[in-house]
Amino acid sequence: MMEEILKQLQNGTLSVAEAKDQLAPYENLGFAKVDHHRKKRQGFPEIIYGEGKSAEQITAIMEAIKAKGNDILVTRMNQEKAEAVLKQHPELIYNDVAQILYWKQQTETVQKTNGYIAIVCAGTSDLRVAEEAAVTAEVLGSKVHRIYDVGVAGIHRLFDNLEEIQQATVSVVVAGMEGALPSVVGGLVSHPVIAVPTSVGYGANFGGISALLSMLNSCASGISVVNIDNGFGGAYNAVVIDRLANKE
Amino acid sequence: MMEEILKQLQNGTLSVAEAKDQLAPYENLGFAKVDHHRKKRQGFPEIIYGEGKSAEQITAIMEAIKAKGNDILVTRMNQEKAEAVLKQHPELIYNDVAQILYWKQQTETVQKTNGYIAIVCAGTSDLRVAEEAAVTAEVLGSKVHRIYDVGVAGIHRLFDNLEEIQQATVSVVVAGMEGALPSVVGGLVSHPVIAVPTSVGYGANFGGISALLSMLNSCASGISVVNIDNGFGGAYNAVVIDRLANKE
Amino acid sequence: MMEEILKQLQNGTLSVAEAKDQLAPYENLGFAKVDHHRKKRQGFPEIIYGEGKSAEQITAIMEAIKAKGNDILVTRMNQEKAEAVLKQHPELIYNDVAQILYWKQQTETVQKTNGYIAIVCAGTSDLRVAEEAAVTAEVLGSKVHRIYDVGVAGIHRLFDNLEEIQQATVSVVVAGMEGALPSVVGGLVSHPVIAVPTSVGYGANFGGISALLSMLNSCASGISVVNIDNGFGGAYNAVVIDRLANKE
Amino acid sequence: MMEEILKQLQNGTLSVAEAKDQLAPYENLGFAKVDHHRKKRQGFPEIIYGEGKSAEQITAIMEAIKAKGNDILVTRMNQEKAEAVLKQHPELIYNDVAQILYWKQQTETVQKTNGYIAIVCAGTSDLRVAEEAAVTAEVLGSKVHRIYDVGVAGIHRLFDNLEEIQQATVSVVVAGMEGALPSVVGGLVSHPVIAVPTSVGYGANFGGISALLSMLNSCASGISVVNIDNGFGGAYNAVVIDRLANKE
Amino acid sequence: MMEEILKQLQNGTLSVAEAKDQLAPYENLGFAKVDHHRKKRQGFPEIIYGEGKSAEQITAIMEAIKAKGNDILVTRMNQEKAEAVLKQHPELIYNDVAQILYWKQQTETVQKTNGYIAIVCAGTSDLRVAEEAAVTAEVLGSKVHRIYDVGVAGIHRLFDNLEEIQQATVSVVVAGMEGALPSVVGGLVSHPVIAVPTSVGYGANFGGISALLSMLNSCASGISVVNIDNGFGGAYNAVVIDRLANKE
Amino acid sequence: MMEEILKQLQNGTLSVAEAKDQLAPYENLGFAKVDHHRKKRQGFPEIIYGEGKSAEQITAIMEAIKAKGNDILVTRMNQEKAEAVLKQHPELIYNDVAQILYWKQQTETVQKTNGYIAIVCAGTSDLRVAEEAAVTAEVLGSKVHRIYDVGVAGIHRLFDNLEEIQQATVSVVVAGMEGALPSVVGGLVSHPVIAVPTSVGYGANFGGISALLSMLNSCASGISVVNIDNGFGGAYNAVVIDRLANKE
Amino acid sequence: MMEEILKQLQNGTLSVAEAKDQLAPYENLGFAKVDHHRKKRQGFPEIIYGEGKSAEQITAIMEAIKAKGNDILVTRMNQEKAEAVLKQHPELIYNDVAQILYWKQQTETVQKTNGYIAIVCAGTSDLRVAEEAAVTAEVLGSKVHRIYDVGVAGIHRLFDNLEEIQQATVSVVVAGMEGALPSVVGGLVSHPVIAVPTSVGYGANFGGISALLSMLNSCASGISVVNIDNGFGGAYNAVVIDRLANKE
Amino acid sequence: MMEEILKQLQNGTLSVAEAKDQLAPYENLGFAKVDHHRKKRQGFPEIIYGEGKSAEQITAIMEAIKAKGNDILVTRMNQEKAEAVLKQHPELIYNDVAQILYWKQQTETVQKTNGYIAIVCAGTSDLRVAEEAAVTAEVLGSKVHRIYDVGVAGIHRLFDNLEEIQQATVSVVVAGMEGALPSVVGGLVSHPVIAVPTSVGYGANFGGISALLSMLNSCASGISVVNIDNGFGGAYNAVVIDRLANKE
């Protein structure tokens, strides 16, 4: 790509300013530089991480993204900030379990197969992270099946839902405490497994380190791991894979 | 699948013994239970982790796998043990940088696209892990492009090879020290990035924890992580994705 | 007990010296104080931890124990030291996988049931620790069933051996890497599970911490944990429970 | 068991649906899958971990369990949530020191001996965890003796209560700070000791890690450990052992 | 210096009291010993760390410093305490993003070049720390350029501002999460880089340890590191270097 | 001592009950066992750690101690609980910086020298811990000199007060952040130094671990360390040494 | 710079190939990409980190660098590998304390002041790291004063050499164990202090973490830190500052 | 002291050179600055830490110390280096268990009481550290009683030796594994207890951290702690206390 831009510059097709703009396009809001190039570069527009940003900052970034005709996805968005934003932008939708605020245009991607992402979680306490993953995947354009509360302490519940998991294109497996579920799932499927450790637990759980280490040390192959409680990251990886396999 | 087997059992198509065998097939060598079911369940035959096993144990497991007509892949195999095995099985091939011993039959998979896996590494000290990834991917049937020594301290080297990385189906990015390379690559590509931290470094590197944490905390999306020095695991994940996208 | 001794002292049945001896009986070898009281107090004679002691020291302690008519059990005993001791005491038996040296008298305990201890292990690399547990339990007088290489990556191997595990009085479950096996077993049995983490693994395994944390954070009930690689400790706990349930 | 079900299926005694149900019975509440099989599989009905669940969720799960005629035990239940549940279910009992809500039917188990569980704790700050253990054990059907505030800084208090501890079937020893008490008790009794580290302390106590490491590294045999502050887990293990030794 | 004072003492130019005072001058406020010697010894008057001190204590120390004709700089000063101090000293200025309260006299240092400090930060969440650095540097007499929100996930934003960074005398680079930005900047400039890790992030970020380790393990040369969130420290180091290069 | 009691028992001078009472005397309040033996065994009556105990519990324990004619010392006592206790016991004295509540009888110990304890602290933020140490030492009967705010960043303040420190019998040196002060003091005095790390600091300070490790690794001899923020423990050790050297 | 190259490309002054070369110049040795651009970009040619590279690899990289007329600096070079390289390149110089192999051309930089770098170290065990710093600085063209064995346990040794340290342009302060020396030096000088923690020590030293944390938490201003044992990094930072202040 | 020197300087009693020498006396061996002032300042001559120093360096430092008529104490001295030094200095004595090399002149201190130091250790594996403490204390002039192998797993062995411990002036208590012994001893004596954690153990022992944390978190008062395996440090502290109490 760089080579082409350089050639166009040499040919006079592009000015120096245009060349610089094509290499580095973004919008400077002062406190933030909105990355309008991301959809071209990565396949999805910039996604807003809501934690640590004020409702005003989020609104400003969001409007800059929307003005370019892109979809909106804000994660880690608490009720209070969501409501502040919704007053000005009632067209947005808020999911309070997933803590996600979003706005989505019509049909972007064409499904060429029946593939879907399986979001699997171990216990009811992992729900918030599992829903962050599920809603993220749906907003980014994938089909999702939810298989919840199938942790290894009652493993027959997993086996009863095994075929639905096995037929998915990719699984996102969410678990806290000892984080054993991805190892068991990983040994039973032939597709990629994205493991998401959660901070659920207490004592020697250390805010999710126990589950994180379990997943990194899994004896099963085909498992990769994202950060603790990072349901969004788990889903994003799954969606990228789902696109490779199932979209036009 | 379970339901079908149960039905066949009910219909008399299967005996109880056959039903049990289909649900749980393996070969008991005494010190090990070789999992012949894995190829059906996961798409690849059982792979042997060489560390901590004797040349005799490895030979026995390997022969059991080969007797079923499966390919052989032994990782973490040092020179000495490899030579002991090669004496009896000269048909095997040993790669001493990757520490891999393997044997591969002819054409298994049909490539339906031009897709390949990019194996990217930061420095020359990460070579052993990068090669474990590259050889693993090749033995498991994928095409591989190697882009080595493109760490962030001289980032123009990365940019000069960027198009080759961007056109891959999936990248395996190997880095030690501060482990920044996957974040930079992750921000520049639209495909999945599997990050492999290495134990290369000293001092506050803590045997690879520094790179591992960097990768888990990456500000770029689309990155998932495997265990420290786990080149095999990085490749395995990439091959599974490569199959979804590029194989028949 | 203290009260009785005090009364006997008051009655003149015991002298001050005898009273002191009953409260605190041991043999002073200078470098060690051999605890002859332990069998009365804890049900088993003193067991020798071989690591960090010389063959001479071990022989001296052992002879003091044997002179009182007690059985001998030395753990963490490498080949070289074992041979040095065996030269002088050929009546001892050495198990080199378990790294245990022992000597056992005839029939001590009467089995009142068919109960046994199940020693379950995840992979062939965990064998050394599993055998330390199995041999310890046998020397201390329990019946043992070994169920090895049934880790969660190929969980059908576990299910195929499940009934043998479920019918045990108590299980010792040995696992390294992600240490998920005790959670799965713990959810399927109604008896106590003693979990033994091993240091098997690499990278973010941290010498067994990964498995240790998994076991401490298990979502299944009825699991308690001993130190990393402590096969002896796992077995000792199981034997004490086995005595309560199955011995006269 | 699996074999029997398969045979009954083959004989036509069971339908496929019945066979599946016997292998994997649970009730799907949507947000949770209640495991009605647990009593058969593990000897006790499903126990509810209250933390992180709403009063409504707890009530729903509880009613599903009770509808099957099972006892109710909810742990980590704060005053506020307990009162919300009690409004609808005044037949439940709440213990605010132990933070346990429960409901218990009449005579389930027949005591065949005088055996009991000793709940031993080091200091008054460990009371909450010790009571969680004591109440759990009582609700699960065991006899309990409480021996509190006998930490090693004033070891004569322990010795004065030693006989009561020694005559127990199994001890649960609860301690924070340096966690030395289980080692001392473990050296003085012949029965199993379940050690429960607490997070009591400050500074280099690290939320209970100090006590946890002490207990894992105990020089005394016959000690196994559960998670920090896990009074419930300590008791559950003790009750399972108590059943083996003392119940019909 | 000591030698001169000793000589003056010998010559009678100084009394013993004067000699002691020159070696150790400070003002004792009882709860604090204000170090009036610091400007002579280190080039800047004593700076007040506001956290953990009451508004009264800060006011007293501040007045002692001001009475000697020195500038005032108070860091980690929250809104509430700042307002309490401002009531009595309205001549002070408060910057609420940087959490800094200060008072500055006229022209102290003469700029002999066009040199400036580049304050570079990765994301909008790092703003507080970056501003602490920027305001500190300005109050201490340096010129500052702010280059914000140029993290590695959208690296073209960095390249677009590269020349401004490269022409600085020294850079302070602030980043949280994986902390990769200083490595990339360090490989592209020829001046010193002071790296400031921030606690921004979640999960395996561990309050900034992830970024701290990245920076300590940087593969680029010319980077040194200060404590997590220590914007003040980063700026102070930069100002000292700026003085060496650009001031008279 | 045991021997004497046994002899008196044998001689009939003591009854069994008296013998037991002399070996193990305490008062059982139900929730606590008050250790009235401690003054005889350790030289000081039982001291109450206030944190985690209710005002009622503290009052009850305190009254039991006072009833035996002993002094009262309650540490970690916040304002609110202190006031609750003071309502019923206005004869007690509360020091709110040290968070200590106490009551002290007249002349217990006779000072045979001019010895005193030096309480040295690094910064004003360490005051709370330093005062806990100072007040504890005074209540336990020692003379105390306070030398505060003499941290190593302005080391001339330390040197100006050096003689007062050097002439003490023992020093308690309190420091947070990098905890360097005890090493410097330790190299300049010939008496014992008790080092008390504090949790003062931020970022990579980890709640006092930085200072704790510094003190444990001190290159100076004659330094021993107590727990983080444990001003009481530092003082207690110093008082015991002060008694050996300076009291009759 | 980018802008200029783009303009020259547009003007026809540069071809596309030349433009690419100016943006990204390096030499591809296959196993390594030698960065010939570094001297222009960073002021020094590429420096070779010797650890983990073979003598052959080092020789090849070195020859590529020398062929461009650049100086050679190889760090972490053990005796054996150094001798292997010296056989072919006897013009190189090897310093075995510093473990550095180098080759230096004549007069590169003109000293415009009398400035120098003070290399200060705490104990004789820190010598290796201090010499790595000193030799690195000299090879990179700076004047160096060595002030060794002046640790805080005998602080009069530091004070006796204080003026030499105070008059330096920048100090590199090397210390292991508790790492207190940089804090003391930092409080006494007005120039930048680069702190280098060493792994010297034992027990709770944790391979240098104790010193590292001390330095990061220093109560003195003007201190920045490099990785454990990174004498090279400390020197490199100092040389960059020395150039700003003292070179033409 | 400073004041007196300054006065003498003023009076002409001292020259500037003499004054400087009295403030900062040491001997510069180039690689080391031997601190001849230490005996005056701290009560003992400089002690040599042998680890990481060559036999030649040790000999040179030793000879400088001996030339001033001081005693010699070298710790952490392995057999090989000791023999190298002994060849030249056969008057020295080597203790191979304690790894100490020393030379001691006649009667320095006059014992004014019967006081002694109790060196108490938990197990035979802790012997090396205990002997380092015992020999150090003897060489520094104290009387020592050794009470070994009295760990808490057989606590009657401790009680049988309790009176000998209680009558000491100060105890040094050495323990590995769970490190419980100092807490038990601390609760039974009225003198200072110096606790020395050892690295003895395995698994979750972490090279002595388990014991270290136990000792720092001890529930008993009057305990202070030195670094892991630091038998020398434990003894040094005890000797300083012993001098205060028992010497003229």
Q: Which of F150, F154, F205 sits opposite E38 (nearest CB)?
A: F154
Which of the four pLDDT bands, split at 50, 70 and 90, describes residue F24?
low
Which of the four pLDDT bands, split at 50, 70 and 90, describes residue A20?
low
> What pLDDT is recorded for position G226?
97
F151 exposure class (CB count in 10 Å sphere: 0-12, 13-18, 19+):
buried
- Asked if A187 and B41 come within 8 Å (Cβ–Cβ), the reply is yes
B220: chain E residues, CB-CB within 8 Å: 152-153
Q: Find residue A170's DSSP bridge partners.
A: A117
Find, in chain H, the residue whose alpha carbon is nearest to that of D211. H214
Give mean pLDDT, residues E101-116.
82
Interface test with E, best of A16, A33, A57 (most E CBs within 10 A): A33
> What pLDDT is recorded for position F22?
64
Range with the poorest average pLDDT among A112-116, F237-241, G109-113: G109-113
Task: Please enumerate in sequence order all residues whose Cβ is within 8 A of that of B30, keeping only pairs 6 or more positions apart, or say none.
Answer: none
- Residue A35 contacts E where some CB pair is shorter than 8 Å: yes
> What pLDDT is recorded for position D33?
78
> d(Cα A166, Cα A178) in Å, to the nearest integer?
23
> What pLDDT is recorded for position B106?
67
Interface test with B, best of E210, E221, E225, E227 (most B CBs within 10 A): E210
Interface test with E, best of H10, H15, H21, H22 (most E CBs within 10 A): H10
- Residue C189 contacts D where some CB pair is shorter than 8 Å: yes
Using the structure block, give the residue that is written with the tokens 């083959």. Answer: D10
- Residue G194 contacts E where some CB pair is shorter than 8 Å: yes
> d(Cα G242, Cα G230) in Å, to the nearest integer?
18
> What pLDDT is recorded for position C108?
58
Number of cross-chain residue pairs from A and B with Cβ atoms under 8 Å apart = 106
Range with the poorest average pLDDT among D19-28, H30-39, H90-99: D19-28
Which of the four pLDDT bands, split at 50, 70 and 90, describes residue B88?
very high
Count of beta carbons in the 10 Å neighbourhood of residue H97: 13
B189: chain A residues, CB-CB within 8 Å: 41-42
Asked if residue D204 has pLDDT above 80, the reply is: yes
- Asked if B216 and E204 come within 8 Å (Cβ–Cβ), the reply is yes
Give mean pLDDT, residues F119-125.
91
> d(Cα D134, Cα G184) in Å, to the nearest integer?
55
Q: Phi then psi for A56, rounded to 5 degrees?
A: -65, -45
Count of beta carbons in the 10 Å neighbourhood of residue F63: 14
Q: Phi then psi for B27, rounded to 5 degrees?
A: -115, 125
C223: chain D residues, CB-CB within 8 Å: 226, 233, 237
> What pLDDT is recorded for position B86?
96
Asked if residue B92 has pLDDT above 80, the reply is: yes
- Residue E212 contacts F where some CB pair is shorter than 8 Å: yes
Helix (H, G, I), strand (E, B) or coil at C23: helix
Is the Cα torsion angle H152, H157, H161, H163 positive or negative in sign? positive
> What pLDDT is recorded for position B107?
59
pTM above 0.95, yes or no: no
> d(Cα H247, Cα A55) in Å, to the nearest integer?
72
Per-residue pLDDT tens digits for E53-71: 889 989 999 998 888 888 8
Asked if residue A109 has pLDDT above 70, the reply is: no
Give the CA distances from residue F176 to residues C145, F182, G212, H113, in Å, rounded to whole numbers and listed in that order: 56, 11, 15, 39
Q: Phi then psi for D28, rounded to 5 degrees?
A: -95, 110
> What pLDDT is recorded for position H8?
78
Per-residue pLDDT tens digits for H175-201: 999 999 999 999 999 999 999 999 988
Asked if residue B144 has pLDDT above 60, the reply is: yes
Per-residue pLDDT tens digits for B97-137: 999 999 988 655 678 888 999 999 998 889 999 999 999 99
> How far is G127 from chain F, CA to nearest CA, in Å?
16
> How far is G56 from chain E, CA to nearest CA, in Å?
22
Residue, of C248 and H137, whose pLDDT is higher: H137
Is the Cα torsion angle F45, F50, F53, F57 positive or negative in sign? positive
Range with the poorest average pLDDT among D69-78, E29-38, G209-218: E29-38
B12: chain D residues, CB-CB within 8 Å: 10
Give mean pLDDT, residues D138-148.
95
Please count the CA atoms within 13 angstroms of the CA of G134 that sit on its side-chain side: 21
Cβ atoms of G125 and H52 closer than 8 Å? yes
Residue H145 φ/ψ region, left for φ over 0, alpha for ψ in the -120 to 50 degree band, beta for the rest: beta
Range with the poorest average pLDDT among D74-78, G235-239, H34-38: H34-38
E24: chain F residues, CB-CB within 8 Å: 156-157, 159-160
> What pLDDT is recorded for position F30?
66
Find, in chain G, the residue whose alpha carbon is nearest to that of E170. G241
- Residue B29 contacts D where some CB pair is shorter than 8 Å: no
**Which 8-state DSSP code applies to residue A205?**
G
Helix (H, G, I), strand (E, B) or coil at B72: strand
Cβ atoms of A39 and A45 closer than 8 Å? yes
- Asked if G210 and F217 come within 8 Å (Cβ–Cβ), the reply is yes
Blockwise average pLDDT, block size 10, chain C, 248 residues? 69 74 66 74 82 89 88 94 95 95 78 92 91 96 94 87 95 95 94 96 89 93 95 96 89
Averaged pLDDT score across all residues of chain H? 88
Find, in chain D, the residue whose alpha carbon is nearest to that of A158. D24
> What pLDDT is recorded for position H7?
74
> How far is E10 from chain H, CA to nearest CA, in Å?
5
Which of the four pLDDT bands, split at 50, 70 and 90, describes residue G109?
low
> d(Cα F4, Cα F22) in Å, to the nearest integer?
11
Q: How many residues in total does chain B contain?
A: 248
Cβ atoms of D198 and D151 closer than 8 Å? no
Chains D and H touch (3+ CB pairs under 8 A): yes
Per-residue pLDDT tens digits for B46-60: 889 998 888 998 999
Which chains neighbour B (Cβ–Cβ under 8 Å, 3 or more pairs)? A, C, D, E, G
Which of the four pLDDT bands, split at 50, 70 and 90, describes residue E226?
very high
Residue, of D23 and E189, whose pLDDT is higher: E189
Per-residue pLDDT tens digits for B145-161: 999 999 988 888 898 89
Q: Find residue E195's DSSP bridge partners.
A: E173, E225
Asked if residue A107 has pLDDT above 80, the reply is: no
Asked if residue H172 has pLDDT above 60, the reply is: yes
What share of chain B in percent tops pLDDT 70? 92
- Asked if D157 and F57 come within 8 Å (Cβ–Cβ), the reply is no
- Residue F5 contacts C where some CB pair is shorter than 8 Å: no
E125: chain A residues, CB-CB within 8 Å: 49, 51-53
> What pLDDT is recorded for position G181?
96
> How far is C12 from chain F, CA to nearest CA, in Å?
7
> d(Cα D236, Cα G84) in Å, to the nearest integer?
66
Structure tokens at H54: 């060559």
Give mean pLDDT, residues A101-123.
86
> How far is B177 from chain G, CA to nearest CA, in Å?
11
Averaged pLDDT score across all residues of chain F? 88
Cβ atoms of B147 and B118 closer than 8 Å? yes
> What pLDDT is recorded for position G44?
79
> What pLDDT is recorded for position F23?
59
- Residue E26 contacts B where some CB pair is shorter than 8 Å: no
- Asked if F240 and H224 come within 8 Å (Cβ–Cβ), the reply is no
D211: chain H residues, CB-CB within 8 Å: 217
Find, in chain F, the residue whose alpha carbon is nearest to that of C19. F6
- Asked if A42 and B162 come within 8 Å (Cβ–Cβ), the reply is no
Asked if residue D1 has pLDDT above 80, the reply is: no
- Residue C109 contacts H where some CB pair is shorter than 8 Å: no
> What pLDDT is recorded for position B22?
64
Give the CA distances from residue G181 to residues F180, F207, G225, in Å, rounded to whole numbers and listed in that order: 8, 22, 13
- Asked if D189 and C2 come within 8 Å (Cβ–Cβ), the reply is no
- Residue H226 contacts F where some CB pair is shorter than 8 Å: yes
Per-residue pLDDT tens digits for A125-157: 899 999 999 999 999 999 999 999 999 888 888
Rounded to 5°, angle at Cα F82 from F77 and F84: 140
What share of chain H in percent tops pLDDT 90? 60
Helix (H, G, I), strand (E, B) or coil at D246: helix
Find, in chain F, the residue whose alpha carbon is nearest to that of H191. F240
- Asked if H213 and D210 come within 8 Å (Cβ–Cβ), the reply is yes
Separation of first and last alpha carbons in chain F: 22
Residue, of E231 and A27, whose pLDDT is higher: E231
Averaged pLDDT score across all residues of chain B? 88
Give mean pLDDT, residues B14-31.
68
- Residue E24 contacts H where some CB pair is shorter than 8 Å: no
Interface test with C, best of B33, B47, B61 (most C CBs within 10 A): B33
ipTM: 0.88
